[in-house]
């Protein structure tokens, strides 16, 4: 696991976008695993700017997102499909048919989750998986629990996640209590992983991810076992980590 120190959010966002841009440049038909949340918004802005400058071509890129709230349709303004359209897909030359976000309205969800994993595998797995990290150490919506769950599955969100995400909803009662998420096995199968984190609220989680025991109570800690994982984090998020 390699740690890249960024000065602040903007610096983190530029560095992360540069890594993703290099992936798209080197392999124009790459498979990107993508993330939502506040953290990647600046990264996506930088990718859009690079596209507008003529430096990036997304026409052959395929994407698979980590997660989606259960029960939200893709046109709901808090759904992750909507987030991806608004923050990235609507602004670059990606073919929307090549973009995939778990369907929040899937009916036979066990079959649909298995099909999602099969599709990621059939695409050759993610060349690069972008991840944020939750205050509680979650990746995707793999919440702290007793075991690492391998495949895409339905999760009950923890109070801490519901609380953290309520800032984006009119009221905490509107936050869905469940979500679909890629499992740890699906994430770990990515050829490379890029974790981004900023702000002091993430400091403990970033420390535990990089230096704590590898335990499902901190799902991100499994990334210590990934052969090609880069963490780009700002000073505040790295405050509890050793200096070098
Ligand atoms: P955030 O969420 O980027 O909104 O902080 C990160 C996450 O929960 O993975």
Q: What is the pLDDT of residues 129-186, one digit of tens each?
A: 999 999 999 999 999 999 999 999 999 999 989 999 999 999 999 999 999 999 999 9
Residues near ligand 1 with C-beta < 6 Å?
37-39, 132-134, 138
Take atom 8 of ligand 1 and give the residue whose Cα is closest.
134
Catalytic residue among 68, 117, 143, 234: 143
Q: Closest ligand 1 atom to the C-alpha of 199?
A: 5
The answer to whether the beta carbons of residues 231 and 208 sit under 8 Å apart is: no
CA 175 to chain CA centroid, Å, is: 19
Q: How far is CA 117 from the centre of its chain?
A: 16
CB atoms within 10 A of CB 86: 13
Question: What's the whole-model pTM score?
Answer: 0.97
Mean pLDDT of 110-114: 94
Q: Tell me if residue 110 is catalytic.
A: no
The answer to whether 226 is a known catalytic residue is no
User: Which residue is associated with the tokens 């038909």?
Assistant: 29
Best mutation site among 13, 33, 39, 143 for ligand 1 pocket (most ligand atoms within 8 Å of CB): 39
């Amino acid at each position: 696991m390699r740690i890249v120190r960024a000065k602040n959010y903007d610096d983190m966002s530029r560095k992360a976008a540069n890594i993703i841009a290099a992936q798209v440049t080197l392999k124009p038909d790459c498979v990107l695993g993508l993330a939502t949340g506040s953290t990647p918004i600046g990264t996506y802005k930088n990718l859009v700017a690079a596209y507008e400058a003529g430096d990036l071509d997304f026409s052959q890129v395929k994407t698979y997102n980590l997660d989606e709230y259960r029960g939200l349709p893709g046109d709901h303004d808090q759904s992750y499909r909507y987030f991806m359209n608004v923050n990235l897909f609507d602004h670059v030359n990606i073919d929307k048919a090549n973009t995939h976000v778990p369907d929040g309205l899937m009916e036979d969800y066990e079959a649909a989750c298995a099909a999602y994993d099969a599709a990621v595998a059939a695409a050759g797995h993610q060349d690069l998986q972008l991840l944020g990290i939750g205050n509680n150490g979650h990746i995707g919506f793999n919440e702290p629990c007793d075991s690492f769950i391998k495949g895409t599955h339905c999760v009950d969100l923890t109070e801490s996640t519901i609380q953290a995400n309520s800032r984006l909803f009119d009221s905490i009662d509107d936050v869905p209590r469940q979500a679909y998420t890629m499992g740890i096995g699906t994430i770990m199968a990515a050829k490379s992983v890029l974790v981004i984190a900023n702000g002091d609220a993430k400091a403990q989680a970033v420390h535990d991810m990089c230096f704590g025991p590898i335990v499902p109570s901190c799902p991100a800690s499994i990334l210590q076992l990934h052969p090609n994982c880069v963490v780009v984090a700002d000073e505040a998020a790295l405050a509890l980590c050793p200096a070098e």
